[in-house]
Structure 1
Amino acid sequence: MLSLSVSASCQAWEFDPLLANRHVPVTAAASMSGDESLRICVFGALPDPLPLEEAVERALCNNPKTRESWANVKIAAADVGAARGAYLPTVSGNWQGVRDDTRTDVIGHPEFSSNYRNSVLRTESVSLNWVLYDFGGRAAALANANSLLVAARASQQAALETAFAAVAKDYYAAQAAQGAYVASQEIEQTAHDSFRAATGRVDKGVAPISDELQAQTSWAEAVTNRTKANGDWQTALGTLDSDMDLDASTPVTLPVVGDGVKPDAEFLESVDELIQEAKRSHPSVLAAQAQLEAAAQKVKETRAEGLPSLSLVAKYSWNNQPTTLEVGIPQFPTNGREWYLGFQVTIPIFEGFTRTYQIHEAEAKTELQRDTLNEVEQQVGLDVWTSYQAVKTATDNLDNTAMQLDVASRSYEAAQRRYQVGVGNILELLNAQSSLAAAKRERIQSLTDWRSARLQLAAKLGRLGMSSITDELPLDAR
């Protein structure tokens, strides 16, 4: 992680005379948090247990997609600087040093022949060119660059939110797998208790051997499921390790799956309002809008490039080129100076109709960006609708699965007591045991679905950030 810290320092101190980089985040993930903890991207040992916030920070700092989008922001910022630089004059210097050996043989008149061998001849000059007016070409180019920078920053935010949602999903999947493994151990113990109860009744001669065999089969099945759950858990942890740029074998401990679940937020915003807000503020929509504005400015820039421009030009030069009065007369050392200051008008007269087709191309790209914006808005609206319904369903199912688990637990306890006193039968006990196992799995899944759904909705609304990792639904519902 040291290299990330060094690169961040270089980014902060690099030469930026036109202030083009002031909107570039100092790290790939800095824009997701308002504090400095995410800006350095330097981490120590994994905490025990690993909170979601640190898992997200590690993933965002090291995810290739977030770093690519960060690089695109820096590229766009550099283009803004170049567009601003077009308003400044250009100054160029030239120096030339040569050794001159000139020999002239006049046939038939050797008295006029000459052979001059000079020392180093120098020519030095400084030129200035300053475009004063160009019918809005530079202004359109700067507006285009600024729009592309806005688009790049919005695209980076969208990439961060996508990576955020992905690692959160993997984190919750690993947490659910961990919970499923713990539940499978409990289910195995329950099945073993049923087997022991059946064995005791068989030994006393009050139950047939089939009771013991059925209970033993159920226990063996629970052992198999526990082994599979452990494998699923380790696979999910490996995926989470990979998200954080760690070796898949790195040990990770996660909080209990039920920790922090407080689904007491109310949906005070209608889904229509959420959809309309997402169409206004989602990073992907903002990026598409900025791309459309950049395309429109590109049309203006292309047109302006075919119009006249007015420039201030100046030059000063000095040389020590020797001179001679006439053929056959020796050269004399001299110093020459020249300067000029004036205005230059450049008028494109004919470009082979290339300008016409370049304008057509720019206009077509503007139309393409407009259609892309409409497509993005439609997709954002559908994503919000789908995620909103998922959150509502997951929130309702938290209460449903809690009730299901409570009923299944009491049913199993009743069936177990009935079997032990000889009132119930083994099928009743095993059915209650199976229902309890299913209820535990459903409860774990509902907890995971609720957590994942609320962050997915935040991502679809464009509100996802480190502050979203709270006990409340990220709907700004007040």
Structure 2
Amino acid sequence: MKNRNISVPLILLATSLGTGRPCLAAEGTAATTTTTATPSSLTLDEAMRLTREHNPRALQATDEVKAASARVTQARSAWFPQISAKAGYQYIDPVSEISFGGVPMKFMPNDNYDARITAEMLLFDFGRSGRTVDMAKSGREAATHKRDMTLRDLSLATVRSFYSVLFLQEAVKVKDKEIAALQQNLDHMQKRYQEGVATRYDLLTTQVRLADANNRKIDLQTELDNQRINLRRLCGLTESSTLDLKGSFDITRTDMDATRLAANALEQRPEIMIARENHKAATYRKSLSAKEGLPKIVGSASWGTTNGYQPDINEMRTNVAAGVQLQVPIFTGFRTSASTKEASAMMHAAEQERIDTEEMVRAEVRQSINDLKTSEEKIGTTTLQVSQADLAAKHARIRYQNGLGTTLDLLDAEARLANAELANLQARYEYVLNAYAVRRASGDLIEK
């Protein structure tokens, strides 16, 4: 009686599992995108491709890399001249003038016009512009790694949803098989009851078991429909798209060398790369803060036309101006010292983040390998369990048909067989997801 209540929790647990890796065949034809409502078939590789190309989070991550690249260009603009044009009019009254023989002579006009093109360029700033560019480049690298991490996580979510659909489809088939066996037993029980061989209790017991199996199938079917909705959302498919998934839970051996996988993870995990870029950016920020109190040299040149020149102050005349300016900060309201303290604290925090991330990565590698080993062991035990439960169910049917077994014995045998098949299916499902977890933990971006 205990075994028959196991299958639903097993399914619900399996569909909520986190990550893993498949070692399986998932081959088929191309799938639809959001512009095609009914794909012929959908393989795992095609599902991941659709997710990477059409999911809003993937597009957002790509745009953030473009924005970071634009910030590098903005930072480099300090190395180029800043050219501007301006034109203006100004009325001044009174103006300087003298009188010769009662005739006034103005030294400047009341109406002043000026139009010119000006170019300014930073000549030397003790490396501040270079450090700003370095910070922008580090930000671009961090954005690239964040994009890789986002695409990896989306691929992993697609894997989970893809295999959840496959798992639940098979679970529904197992439940259909159990329901068919119970229905056959119910038909046989009704005949025996009409013949007076079976009791009302035997008939009701079979009916209750059948109703319970149907209820559990409804739960599985609902979860299956929800997983299909989630898979369509990830892949960018329309709600009316029919999902014909091509895949299996075929198992192959996976690398479980923790030392080698941990070394790969420390070189390839996006989280590690981001932590290192954050530390690098903090180092650049500290260097930049230390240079805030240093002077900078700015050169400028302009060409234009204006009035106000003697002897004809109203005539517009071209003019040229050029110069060099030394700007020395004397007091900045303690901004420079505060900025230096902030940068030092951020650099220390970034170093702690890097250390914590590396420790987390090593732990994830070991944990994922342990989970994979457990799944592998479960496959062996549940395979044996299915074989034993199938043999027991066959014997129970023969005993019942020959009048040697009770109805309860037969129903329990059928329930144990169904639960054993579900447990074996779940073990394979967990192995696939845990194998993907090993790939993720070791730094694989799960592109296919």
TM-score normalised by the chain length of structure 2: 0.82
Q: Alignment partner of 1:130: what SS?
A: strand
Structure 1 residues 185-194 or 301-310, which shifts more?
Answer: 301-310
1:265 aligned counterpart, secondary structure: coil
Q: CA 1:407–1:182 in 2, change beyond 3 Å: closer, same or farther? A: same
Please name the residue that 1:213 is paired with: 204
Q: Aligned to 2:389, which of 408, 422, 447?
A: 408
Name the residue aligned to 2:405: 424
Aligned-pair Cα RMSD in Å? 3.2
Deviations 1:84-130 (A, max 9, x none): 2222222222223x486968899xx9955699xx9986422222222
Please list the CA deviations of residues 427-450 of structure 1 after superposition, one character each: whole Å capped at 9, or x if unmatched.
221111110111122123223212
Aligned to 1:265: 253
- Cα distance in 1 for residues equivalent to 2:223 and 2:249: 23
How many percent identity over aligned positions?
Answer: 22
Q: Deviations over 1:67-99 (max 9, x none)?
A: 333232222111111122222222222223x48
Who is 2:37 aligned against?
A: 45
Tell me which of 233, 237, 245 is aligned to 1:255.
Answer: 245
C-alpha change, 1:334 and 1:293, in structure 2 (3 Å) is: same
Distance (Å, rounded) in 2 between the aligned partners of 1:133 and 1:203: 104
- Select which of 44, 52, 55 maps to 2:47: 55
Correspondence for 2:144 among 138, 148, 153: 153
| Partner-residue secondary structure (3-state), 1:145 | helix
* 2:186 is aligned with 1:195: yes
Return the offset for 1:230: 2.0
Instruction: State whether structure 2 residue 364 is matched by structure 1 residue 388.
Output: no
- CA distance 1:206–1:110, change in 2 (3 Å): farther
**What's 2:15 paired with?**
none
Partner secondary structure for residue 86 of structure 1: helix
Helix, strand or coil: the match of 1:348?
Answer: coil
Report matched runs for 1:71-110 at 5 Å. Answer: 71-96=63-88, 98=89
What is the match of residue 305 of structure 2?
Answer: 318
Task: For residue 364 of structure 1, report the CA deviation from its aligned partner.
Answer: 0.9
Q: Report deviation, 1:363.
A: 1.1
Give the 5 Å matches for 1:18-417: 44-96=36-88, 98=89, 112=103, 122-246=113-237, 249-255=239-245, 259-267=247-255, 269-321=256-308, 323=310, 333-417=314-398
Q: Residue 227 and residue 113 in structure 1: after superposition, are their counterparts in 2 closer, same or farther (change >3 A)?
A: same
Whole-angstrom CA distance in 1 between matches of 2:121 and 2:369: 57
CA contact (8 A) 1:241 1:250 kept: no
Deviation at 1:351, TM superposition (A): 2.1
Alpha-carbon distance change, 69 to 253 in structure 1, aligned in 2, over 3 angstroms: closer
Contact 2:301-2:323 at 8 Å conserved across structures:
yes
The answer to whether the 8 Å contact 2:39/2:244 transfers is no
Amino acid at match of 2:124: Y
Task: List alignment gaps of at least 5 residues for structure 1.
Answer: 1-37, 325-330, 468-478
Mapped contact 2:34–2:237 kept (Cα < 8 A): no
Q: Structure 2 CA distance, aligned partners of 1:210 and 1:396?
A: 41
Check 1:140–1:102 CA distance in 2 against 1; reply closer, same or farther (3 A cut): closer
CA deviation after TM superposition for structure 1 residue 44, in Å: 3.0
Asked if the contact 2:53/2:59 (under 8 Å) is kept, the reply is yes
Instruction: Pick closer, same or farther for the CA change 1:302–1:101 going to 2, 3 Å.
Output: closer
The equivalent residue for 1:438 is 419
User: Distance in 2 between the 1:42 and 1:251 partners?
Assistant: 9
Residue 133 of structure 1: how far off its partner (Å): 2.3
- Whether the 8 Å contact between 2:114 and 2:304 is mirrored in structure 1 is yes
Cα distance in 2 between the residues matched to 1:66 and 1:230: 30
Q: What whole-Å deviation, never above 9, does each CA across 1:51-77 have from its counterpart, x for those lacking one?
A: 223333333344443333323222211
Match of 1:451 in 2: 432
> Shift in Å at residue 409 of structure 1?
1.9
Q: Separation in 1 of the partners of 2:142 and 2:324?
A: 38
Q: Is the 8 A contact 1:263 1:395 kept in 2?
A: no
CA distance in 1, matches of 2:224, 2:295: 69
Aligned to 2:18: none
- Matched AA of 2:216: N
3-state DSSP class of the match of 1:310? strand
Alpha carbons of structure 1 residues 349 and 383: separation in structure 2 relative to 1, 3 Å: same
8 A contact 2:181–2:414 mirrored in 1: yes
Q: For 1:155 and 1:419, how far apart are their aligned partners in 2?
A: 63
Q: What is the aligned residue count?
A: 416
Where 1:305 maps in the other structure, the secondary structure is coil
For the residue of structure 1 that corresponds to 2:42, the secondary structure is coil
Q: Which moved more, 1:149-158 or 1:212-221?
A: 212-221
Provide the rounded CA distance (Å) in 1 between the counterparts of 2:75 and 2:279.
Answer: 19
Query: TM-score with structure 1 length normalisation?
Result: 0.77
Q: 1:188 Cα deviation (Å)?
A: 0.5
Are the aligned partners of 1:412 and 1:433 in contact in 2 as well (CA < 8 Å)? Answer: yes
Question: Structure 1 CA distance, aligned partners of 2:347 and 2:59?
Answer: 28
Please list every run of 5 or more consecutive structure 2 residues that lacks an aligned counterpart in the other structure.
1-29
Query: Residues 446 and 254 (structure 1 numbering): CA distance in 2 closer, same or farther, change over 3 Å?
Result: farther
